[in-house]
Amino acid sequence: MNLIPDFRRALGRGIALVALVATVAAAAPIASAQTLRDSQRPQTPTPTQTQTPSPTPAVDPNELFREQVAKPLQAAEELIKAGKYQEAMAKIHEAEQIAGRTPLEAYLIDRTRGIAAAGLGDTQTAVKSFEAVLASGRSPPEEQSKLTEAIAQMYFKAKDYANAVTWTQRYLKAGGTDPQMRMQLVRSLYLAEQYGAAATELRAMIDAEEKSGSKPALDQLQLLGSVYVKMNDGAGYAYALEKVLAYYPKKEYWVDAIGRVQGKPGFPEHLQLDVLRLQEATGTLTEPAQYTAMAQLALRIAAPGEAKRVIDQGFAAGVLGKGPDADEQRKLRDTASKQVVDDEKVLAQNAKDAANATDGNALVNVGYAMVSAGQLDKGIALMEQGIQKGGITRLEEARLHLAIAYLAAGQKAKAIAAFKSVQGGDATADLARLWLIHAQRSSG
């Protein structure tokens, strides 16, 4: 089953635009033409004045906000507050028609137009206006951050993912702390097909959350898996899937993870039983063919106790004992039951013979047979002796089986350490990693 059953749904959630409340005339000097003329006319002292006139403060033309521009902008502000964005745009257009706009007036017009355009859903006009506001350098730092965030969100909503990446990065580099914006960056990178950068960002987010003791969000892990699928990175996908299993161990994820290990090119036949064991442990052993295959493989390696346990489970669950294969399933159960009785008579002697062998292979095999027969302590002791004796044909597989035995005996700490000890790049180590995830979540 795919790790990303409906990733597009997560992308479609959207992010609300930042609310920007305009006070277009705040702290700006408003001057009419008459005021300008009065400020420039020579002053004649009156009898009540002293003979030394006070100097008239100079008006910086760059900071001038004329009354004929202020009035329509103030009207636009009120219309924006009332949600009448189209009418507000008409008033803004009036202000734009005033010739000789000062830098301050241009800034306030751009700012008000951006807000009204955002309200109308005119992303192109809003973005252009807000970019001009930021370029003016007149906004206070807090508003600069909000404007940058708004621009990034509008580009994302408009599906302009390349610009969404640029502006979201600008927001974060400037010290923006909204965690949704960091996730927006990842989504933008993904949708812009910048998969490597998206994976890097996601891994950093997940690592930081784990270090802080937090649980990574499922959509983050799913998105990471989707990124690796796009990159055709099997190892990366396996990493993401294992993280999903560690935090959200649903059966469908276990089916996917185990199936990927089993489906690797050159998967060895001798590990088929270990796959079925992991399926049993994770609750994904559900089909009659799985139960009978596991029992038959267990009988083949002289572990009738395991075969009988599995067959009995299948009958108890109502999976076996019905349908066209019911008679064969009952025969298999009878065979397993008989071999369990026979095995009990020879296990002790087999253990003695194994102890006299020149290598530890027989000790490991007999020990695991005892574990499957319910003699956990004796079986584990023999397996430990066999591994210590050396000469094991498949050492990593023996370590895997010892770890499974520890877990069956409720020795969780030993089991975890043993699963971690399984090395190599083959399927044995892959299975051990999955067993480790299962062991860490077990109640043993």
Same domain for 148 and 281, yes or no, is: no
SS3 374: coil
Number of domains in the chain: 2
Per-residue pLDDT tens for 118-135?
999 999 999 999 999 999
In angstroms, rounded to a whole number, what is the distance separating the alpha carbons of residues 37 and 268?
95
Per-residue pLDDT tens for 315-352?
999 999 999 999 999 999 999 999 999 988 888 899 99
Q: Does 387 fall in a domain?
A: yes
Same domain for 154 and 281, yes or no, is: no
Q: Does 358 fall in a domain?
A: yes
Q: pLDDT-derived band of residue 170, with 50, 70 and 90 as boundaries?
A: very high
What is the rounded average pLDDT of the residues 375-379? 94
CB atoms closer than 10 angstroms to residue 77: 22
Q: Does 179 fall in a domain?
A: no
What is the rounded average pLDDT of the residues 221-230? 95
What is the rounded average pLDDT of the residues 287-293? 96
Same domain for 301 and 426, yes or no, is: yes
Name every residue whose Cβ is closer than 8 Å to that of residue 283 and which is 6 or more positions away in sequence: 251, 254
Amino acid at 161: Y
Same domain for 282 and 409, yes or no, is: yes
Q: Tell me what the pLDDT averaged over the chain comes to.
A: 86
* DSSP category for residue 31: E
What is the rounded average pLDDT of the residues 206-225? 94
Residue 59 φ/ψ region, left for φ over 0, alpha for ψ in the -120 to 50 degree band, beta for the rest: beta
Q: Which of 434, 442, 370 has its CA nearest to residue 402?
A: 370
pLDDT value, residue 2: 37
pLDDT value, residue 444: 58
What is the rounded average pLDDT of the residues 60-88? 92
* DSSP category for residue 29: -
Q: pLDDT-derived band of residue 188, with 50, 70 and 90 as boundaries?
A: very high
**DSSP H or E segment with residue 30:** strand 30-31
- Last-in-domain residue among 133, 158, 183: 158
Q: Which domain holds residue 113?
A: 1-30+60-158
pLDDT value, residue 425: 73
Residue in the structure block whose two tokens are 């009448």:
84
Name every residue whose Cβ is closer than 8 Å to that of residue 353 and which is 6 or more positions away in sequence: 362
In angstroms, rounded to a whole number, what is the distance separating the alpha carbons of residues 113 and 133?
10
Q: Exposure string (b/e) for 9-28, b if CB count within 10 Å is 16 or more?
A: ebeeeebebbebebebbeeb
The answer, yes or no, to whether residue 367 has pLDDT greater than 80, is yes
In angstroms, rounded to a whole number, what is the distance separating the alpha carbons of residues 247 and 249?
6
Q: Name the packing angle between helices 67-81 and 85-96 (round to 10°).
A: 170
Q: Does 197 fall in a domain?
A: no
Q: pLDDT-derived band of residue 56, with 50, 70 and 90 as boundaries?
A: low
**DSSP H or E segment with residue 330:** helix 326-355
Same domain for 408 and 282, yes or no, is: yes
Q: Name the packing angle between helices 427-441 and 272-281 (round to 10°).
A: 10
Q: Does 374 fall in a domain?
A: yes
Same domain for 292 and 429, yes or no, is: yes
The answer, yes or no, to whether residue 54 has pLDDT greater than 70, is no
What is the rounded average pLDDT of the residues 82-108? 94
The answer, yes or no, to whether residue 10 has pLDDT greater than 80, is no
* DSSP category for residue 63: G
Q: Does 361 fall in a domain?
A: yes
| Helices marked H in 192-325 | 195-211, 218-231, 234-247, 251-262, 272-281, 288-300, 304-316
- Last-in-domain residue among 122, 143, 158: 158
Q: Does 221 fall in a domain?
A: no
Q: Which of 429, 435, 428 has its CA nearest to residue 412?
A: 435
Same domain for 289 and 143, yes or no, is: no
Q: Which of 378, 327, 309, 324 has its CA nearest to residue 348?
A: 378
Read off the CATH number of the domain in which 99 is found.
1.25.40
Same domain for 150 and 282, yes or no, is: no
Q: Does 201 fall in a domain?
A: no
pLDDT value, residue 53: 55
Q: Report CA-CA distances (Å) from 5 to 10, 131, 216, 244, 310.
A: 10, 38, 18, 13, 32
Q: pLDDT-derived band of residue 139, with 50, 70 and 90 as boundaries?
A: confident
In angstroms, rounded to a whole number, what is the distance separating the alpha carbons of residues 26 and 44?
33
Task: Say if CB 433 and CB 241 are below 8 A apart.
Answer: no
CB atoms closer than 10 angstroms to residue 184: 24
In whole angstroms, how large is the CA radius of gyration of the chain?
Answer: 37
- Last-in-domain residue among 116, 139, 158: 158
pLDDT value, residue 64: 87
